[in-house]
Amino acid sequence: MYEERQESNTRIPLEKKIRIVNKVNEHPNCSLKTIQHQGGGALRTKKDFPRWKNDFKNGGATLEKYEQINKWAYNRYEDARKEKRPETTRMLQTWAAQAAAQYQSDKFRFKASKCWVQRNIKAKYRIRSRKVTRYIKSKMLWMWQKCLRMPKHFKNVLQRQ
């Protein structure tokens, strides 16, 4: 059950950290090499263990919390698009604030500002906000008026016969 060690610049997912923390708690006297060999290759030093344990208690590292907020807000945006409901920057901010409510604490504060929406949602997922200026094209309006006149025309044709 050998896992390759991850590079130092990659982030380790919370699920993997939890699995390794549980393994270390089950066998507290194991050496670092044994833990790494038995599936804990992401644990580089014993100094990482208390920090991971703290992340586990707090529901994840700060960056993981931000990623979860971004994903949740974007999923709500996609749902609104599928249902053909309007979606605005303000709605994205509201959805992000709702997602962040579960993580709010003294150590973690989140504010869904316009700048945050622009960088983390709109730029990342290439979302563009456009103002709707016309719901009906002028050609469609002409056809609509023509459709309204059709019953009168049909009635006149019937009266002539």
Tell me: do 49 and 65 sit in the same domain. no
Tokens of 151: 């019953």
Looking at residue 4, the DSSP 8-state letter turns out to be P
Residue 119 and residue 65 share a domain? yes
Whether residues 70 and 138 share a domain: the answer is yes
pLDDT on residue 76: 94
CB 58 within 8 A of CB 108: yes
* Range of the structural domain that residue 34 is part of: 14-58
The per-residue pLDDT for 94 is: 93
Asked whether the whole model's pTM tops 0.85, one would answer: no
What are the counts of helices (DSSP H) followed by strands (DSSP E) for the chain? 8, 0
Contact 80, 91 (CB under 8 A): yes
Confidence at residue 1, expressed as pLDDT on a 0 to 100 scale: 47
Question: Whole-angstrom Cα distance, residue 64 to residue 138?
Answer: 49
- For residue 12, what are the CA distances in angstroms to 7, 62, 108, 136? 10, 13, 20, 51
Contact 19, 39 (CB under 8 A): yes
| Tens-digit pLDDT string for the chain (161 aa) | 445 554 555 778 888 888 888 888 888 888 888 888 888 888 888 888 888 888 878 778 888 889 999 999 999 999 998 988 888 899 999 999 999 998 888 888 889 999 999 999 999 999 887 766 655 566 666 676 676 777 777 778 777 76
Q: How many CB atoms lie within 10 A of CB 141?
A: 11
Task: Check whether residue 88 and residue 141 sit in a common domain.
Answer: yes
Q: Name the helix (H) or strand (E) containing 66.
A: helix 62-82
Q: Residue 7 falls within a domain, yes or no? A: no
